[in-house]
Amino acid sequence: MSNVIISNNLSQEETLILGIETSCDETAAAIVANGRRIVSNVVSSQIDIHSLYGGVVPELASRHHVETILPVLDRSLALAGLSLSDLDAIAVTSGPGLIGALLVGVAAAKSLAFAIDKPLLAVHHLSGHIAANYLTDPELTPPFLSLIVSGAHAHIVYVEDYTKIKLLAQTKDDAAGEVFDKLARAVGLGYPGGPKIEKAARGGNTKAFPLPHPEIKDSLDFSFSGVKTAALNVLNQAEQKAASTKSKRCEILSDQDFAATVQETIVEILTDHLAQAQETTGAKIIALAGGVSANKRLRKSVQKLANRLDVKLVVPDIRLCTDNAAMIAAAGYYIWLEQKFSALDLNASALWQIDET
């Protein structure tokens, strides 16, 4: 369990939002003041559990959330030096994500909101990832363009206002992070795939073999399944050649070159589509979001794009790229300001679209 305390020197004027996040394989709780300052941030990761299986096992994730949600909540309050009565509202990720996992967080949030008679705030998981940038850059305000890339999502959105988001592009098949996971598993690098691919790619040949750059006509949408299939075919061919020559696959195609080429291709696709979106919107600010936004190669590529376009780039602090509850509390604050409170019959939604918020 990781604990992060930024500050618990609170003033009476500050609005305190408790955030809860259980959409996938992190159980998290955090308290954020005025949507911008982290008071406490606690994350219990399940990576060690799921790495044994090469990916997230939904049933195991749900069970672990049930076991850890109360200790995580208690720890978050203790680190902040606060009690439940000090809170102004409860924000929770209610979608999208693994339905069983989401339900654990939603049930906990509804129970707390009822017990202390405070507003319940339903937060879209991707809105939370965007809001991680508010915690990193106190000067950031909408409108801006955001590229959200994670294990399950690849979106480009235009943030018109804090709670008004326009969807410009999404993946039509696999997400970029999902491709990283599957290809890392195929080459034996392990889970989670994104960090494993990034580490293996260091010093590798980024053009070791050709990979497609799929484009959908008259659309900014992504398609990564062709990249995944082509990369798997290259890997299979290398293994067959190694078998026929009685050599090792890594002598035909190294993990380093494989990872570097895959990473570079995905980064190029993401950056190209982001450039098109900026041209369409004329946005003066670009914000990265999601777990894959921690990737150094992606950050460098988008920074180069931002420099070329003469726009500002905002990237979340590394510790706020992956799932956490501070981002949920931050997003919840702006829902609280608009008094868009949820009823206590709030349900989780595994397929909630970001432009339906």
- pLDDT value of position 54: 86
Describe the strand order of the beta sheet including 285-289 as a list of residue ranges.
Answer: 164-170, 154-161, 144-149, 285-289, 312-314
- Residues with Cβ within 8 Å of 291's Cβ and at least 6 positions away in sequence, in order, are 149, 150, 151, 177, 194, 321, 322, 323
pLDDT of residue 189 exceeding 60: yes
Averaged pLDDT, 105-117 = 99
- Calculate mean pLDDT across residues 126-138: 98
User: HSE on the CB side for 269, CA within 13 Å?
Assistant: 29
pLDDT at 40 over 60: yes
The residue whose two tokens read 């999208």 is 96
**pLDDT score of 39 more than 90:** yes
| Alpha carbon distance 148, 130 (integer Å) | 7
Query: Is the pLDDT reported for residue 6 higher than 60?
Result: no
Confidence check: pLDDT of 335 > 80: yes
Residue percentage of the chain with pLDDT more than 90: 92
Tell me the pLDDT band of 173, cut-offs 50, 70 and 90: very high
pLDDT computed for residue 53 by the predictor: 87
Q: What are the chain's domains?
A: 2-139+320-356 (3.30.420.40), 144-316 (3.30.420.40)
Q: Of 5-9, 79-83, 250-254, which gets the smallest average pLDDT? A: 5-9
Question: Confidence class of residue 224 from pLDDT cuts 50, 70 and 90?
Answer: very high
**Cα–Cα distance for residue pair 319/175, rounded to 1 Å:** 21
Q: What is the 3-state secondary structure (H, E, C) of 231-289?
A: HHHHHHHHHHHHHHCCCCHHHHCCHHHHHHHHHHHHHHHHHHHHHHHHHHHCCCEEEEE
3-state percent helix, strand, coil for the chain, nearest multiple of 5 = 50, 20, 30
Question: Can you give the pLDDT at residue 90?
Answer: 99
- What's residue 207's pLDDT? 98
> Is residue 238 scored above 60 in pLDDT?
yes
Please give the backbone phi and psi of residue 340, each rounded to the nearest 5 degrees, phi first.
-90, 70
Q: How confident is the model at residue 13 (pLDDT cuts 50, 70, 90)?
A: confident
In the structure encoding, which two tokens stand for residue 174, read together? 């696999």
Give the pLDDT band (50/70/90) at residue 3.
Answer: low
1 pLDDT more than 80: no
Segment 338-348 shows an average pLDDT of 98
Whether pLDDT at 5 is above 80 = no
Q: Which range has the worst mean pLDDT, 21-25, 64-68, 352-356? A: 352-356
pTM over 0.85: yes
| Overall average pLDDT of the 37-53 stretch | 94
Give tens-digit pLDDT for 136-168: 999 999 999 999 999 889 999 999 999 999 999
**For residues 334-353, average pLDDT:** 97
Residue 192, preceding peptide bond in cis (omega within 30° of 0): yes
Which whole number is the average pLDDT over 257-282?
98
**Percent share of the chain, pLDDT over 70:** 97
Categorize the per-residue pLDDT at 76 as very low, low, confident or very high, splitting at 50, 70 and 90.
Answer: very high
Amino acid 241: pLDDT: 96
Q: For the chain, give the mean pLDDT.
A: 96
Question: What band does 10 get if pLDDT is binned at 50, 70 and 90?
Answer: low
pLDDT computed for residue 11 by the predictor: 62
Q: What is the pLDDT of residue 171?
A: 96
